Amino acid sequence: MTDTVIETRALTKRYGRVLAVDRLSLQVPRGHVFGLLGPNGAGKTTVMGMLLGLVRPTSGSFSLLGTSGGGRDALRRIGAIVETPAFYPYLSGRRNLAYFQGVMGRNDPRELDRLLELVGLAGRANDAFKTYSLGMKQRLGLAYALLGDPELLLLDEPTNGMDPAGMAEVRDLIRDLGREGRTILLSSHLLNEVEQVCDSVAIIARGRLVVQGDVAELLRPQEQVRLRTTDDAKALTILTASDEVEAASAEDDALVVTIAHERSSELTALLSKSEVYVTEIAPLQVSLEQYFLDITGENGERSE
Amino acid sequence: MTAEVLALTRWEWYKLRRRRLPWILLLVNVMLMQFTFWVSYASYRAGDEITLGVDPSTGIVGAVPAEVLALPNSAVFGLLASHGFVAILIIILTAPVTATGYGWGTTRPVRRVSDTRWLFLAAKLILVALLGAGATLVGTLSVTLSSQVAYVTLEGGRGIAASAAWGELIRTFAKVVYGLFPWIALATLFAVLTRSTRLAVGLSLGYAVVESIVFESLTGFEWFERVSGFVMSWAIDDWLGSTEAQLASIGIGDDSSLGTAAAVAAQAEALRGFLVSLAYIVILNCLSFWIFQRRDIAGAKGE
C-alpha cells in the first residue's frame, strides 16, 4: 500500500494560449485532509478535472491510488464533487442518488437513507433537485461523493453557496471523514476553511505551485510576538539594533517583533537592561490568510 | 462489457422515463399514424379509392384501394407512410438524451463512476434505438386497433380483403426501425459536437430539410442522379422501397406494371440503400464515440 495517494508530475494543461496549470507536481499523503488553495482562476478545478479524467492533460502525468493515470479501478474508489454539483433537475434528490448508485453497479436503498441523513437532506429527499437551494445542492453533491464509501474524496469548493451554519456543518463532516482515515483533497479559495480543516496544503497561483507542506509547518517560520512596553519608541530602537531580533516594527499601539521562537523569552531581559519594561507580550499567530497574501500577493511570482 | 452497457441502458431509461418528452413524442407518433390511417378511411368512405401520393414526373402514382384499411395492409401502409415523421421525432428524442448531460453538467458525475466513456454513449444509443422500435411498435398496434374498428364500421368490411402476408408486416417493421438508425447516429453526432440540445435538433432537422428540399431541386442534373443514392435520406427511402415498390410489396396497386426487371432493380436499390445507411450509421457513430471519448467534459452550460 503506497503512502502517497495522489502524485502529479509536471502536470500541465493549456487551453489555447492560456496556461491553466503549469508543471504542477503534488504529493498527497494517505490519510491526510489536503487543501488545494488558490484564488479563483488559479487552476484548482482544472487539476481536479485532470485527476478525474474529465480534462485531458496537455503534458505531465499523475497517479491515483497507486494507478498511473487514474485507471478504471482507481476511479471507482474515488468520490468527487467538481464545481457546482450537477444532477438531473426533474429527479428528486433520492432518485438522483439512486441513479448514480445504479450506474456504479449497486442498489442499496439503506446507503441512500444513511447518506441523505448524514448530509441533512432526509426531509427533502423526495423533492425535485430543481427546487433545492445552492446549499442543499452542495449537500446532495457531498452525499453523491460518498456513494460507495470511497477511500479518496476530491471536493471542489464543497461549501460554496452555503450559509455559515451549513459551512460549519460541512467542515465538521469533512474533518470526521478525515478522521475515519479517508484521504481528502479539498480545493478552496477560503483560507480559513483550509486552515480549519486541512492537515496539509498546496498553494497554487496562476496554475503554478507556490508552496506545499503541513499547515502548521508553513505557519511556524512566521513566529512573531506582539509587545507593549513602558516606552515603545525606545524599545523599537533597542530591538532594531539587536542581533537576536530578525525584524521589529510599530503597528497600531504595539510592537510586532519577529524572533526565533526559542529566543522570544530573552526580549524582556534585553529591554529591561535599558529600563524599558514589558507590560504585555503575546505570540502573534500568523494566519494562513496573511501567509497566503504574502506569497501570492506582492511575491506572487515566487514559486517552486 | 455487454452486461455493463445493458445495465447502463437500464439506468438511462430510469431517468428518461421520468421526463415528459418521450411520452409526448410517443403520443405524437401514435396520432400521426392514426391520422394517416383515418385520412385513408375517410377517403375510402368518400369514394372507392384513396390517392396515395403524387410523383412529380408521372403525376399520380397510385390510387390505393380499400385493402389499405384491412390488416395487415393497414399496418404496413401506416409504417411506410409515417416513417418520415417518425424520423423527425427520433431526432427530437435523440438530441436531448445526449446533450442534456452537457447542459446540466451531469456528464461529469457519470464519468466519475463510469470512466470508460464509450459505454455511457453506447447505452444512450441503445436506449434511443429501443425506444424508436418501441414507439414504432406502439404506433403499429394503434393502427391495428383502428383497422379493426374500421372493419366493423364498414359493415363487416365491405369490399375489404387482406392480401399481404403478416410476414410482410414484420419485414416492413424491421426495415422502418433500421431506417431510424442513421437519424439517431446523425442527431447523436450533432449533440456530442455542439453539446446543445437546441443546436443538435436544429442541425439534424436542418440537414433533413436540406436533403429533401435542396437536393430535390438538383434531380434534374445528370451528375446528381449518379450520387443521389448516397444521400442519407434517399438511401433510407431506397431501403424502404420506392412508392411503387411499397404498393406492390403490400399487394396494392398494379404489380404487373413493375415487371421482373423493375422488381430486380428495386431489390438492388434496396440493398444499396441498406449498405449506404449502414455506412452512415458506422461513420457517424464512430465520429461521435471518438469525440465523446477524447474531448474534455466541462461543467454545466446551463441549457
Contact partners, residue A270, CB within 8 Å, separation at least 6: A238, A239, A242, A244
Q: Using the beta-carbon criterion (under 8 Å), do A75 and B113 form an inter-chain contact? A: yes
Query: A139 and A73 share a domain?
Result: yes
Inter-chain touch A78–B112, beta carbons under 8 Å:
yes
- Binned at pLDDT 50, 70 and 90, residue B17 comes out as very high
Quick one: A165 and A251 in the same domain?
A: no
A73 contacts chain B (CB < 8 A): no
Residue B134 contacts A where some CB pair is shorter than 8 Å: no
Look at residue A23 and tell me if it is in a domain: yes
C-alpha cell at A115: 447518506
| One domain, residues A232 and A199 | no
Interface check B21 vs A, CB under 8 A: no
Residue B52 has pLDDT above 80, yes or no: no
Q: Please name the member of A85, A87, A90 whose beta carbon is closest to the beta carbon of B18.
A: A90
| Domain count within chain A | 2
Q: Where do the structural domains in chain B lie, given as residue ranges? A: 2-294
CB-closest option in A80, A98, A105 to B112: A80
B109:A87 CB<8 A: yes
Q: Are A14 and A41 in contact (CB under 8 A)?
A: no
- Indicate if A164 and A228 belong to the same structural domain: no
* Contact across the interface for A56 and B297, Cβ inside 8 Å: no
CA A46, distance to chain mean position in Å, is: 15
A157/A281 same-domain check: no
A109-118 vs A93-103: helix axis angle to the nearest 10? 130
Lowest mean pLDDT among A59-68, A209-218, B275-284: A209-218
Instruction: Indicate the pLDDT class of residue B59, thresholds 50, 70 and 90.
Output: very low
Question: pLDDT grade, residue A13 (50/70/90)?
Answer: very high
Q: How far is it, in rounded angstroms, from Cα A174 to Cα A167?
A: 10
CATH number at residue A60: 3.40.50.300
Q: What is the CATH number of the domain that holds A238?
A: 3.30.70.100
* 3 state DSSP class of A214: strand
* Number of CB pairs, chain A paired with chain B, less than 8 A apart: 81
ipTM (interface pTM) = 0.79
Q: Are residues A33 and A132 in the same domain?
A: yes
**pLDDT above 90 (res A72):** no
What pLDDT, on a 0 to 100 scale, did the predictor assign at position B192? 93
Tell me: do A197 and A227 sit in the same domain. no
Q: What is the pLDDT of residues A143-161, one digit of tens each?
A: 999 998 999 999 988 888 7
Amino acid at A194: V
Whether A302 maps to a domain, the answer reads no
The verdict on A157 and A208 lying in the same domain is yes
| Portion 115-154 of A in contact with B at CB < 8 A | 144, 147-148
Does residue A138 form part of some domain? yes
| Cross-chain Cβ contact B105/A84 below 8 Å | yes
Considering the domain architecture, whether residues A243 and A210 belong to the same structural domain is answered as no
Q: Chain A contact for B303, CB < 8 A?
A: no
* Predicted local confidence at residue B229, as pLDDT: 79
pLDDT at B19: 93
Contact between residue A134 and residue A103 where contact means Cβ atoms under 8 Å apart:
no
What would the mean pLDDT of A240-264 be, rounded to a whole number? 82
> d(Cα B246, Cα B243) in Å, to the nearest integer?
5
Please give the residue range of the domain that contains residue A255: 223-285
Domain identity same for A94 and A208: yes
Q: Let me know whether A120 and A145 are in one domain.
A: yes
Flag if A86 and B299 touch (Cβ within 8 Å): yes
Chain A residue whose CA is closest to B298: A54
Which pLDDT does position A111 carry in this prediction?
Answer: 95
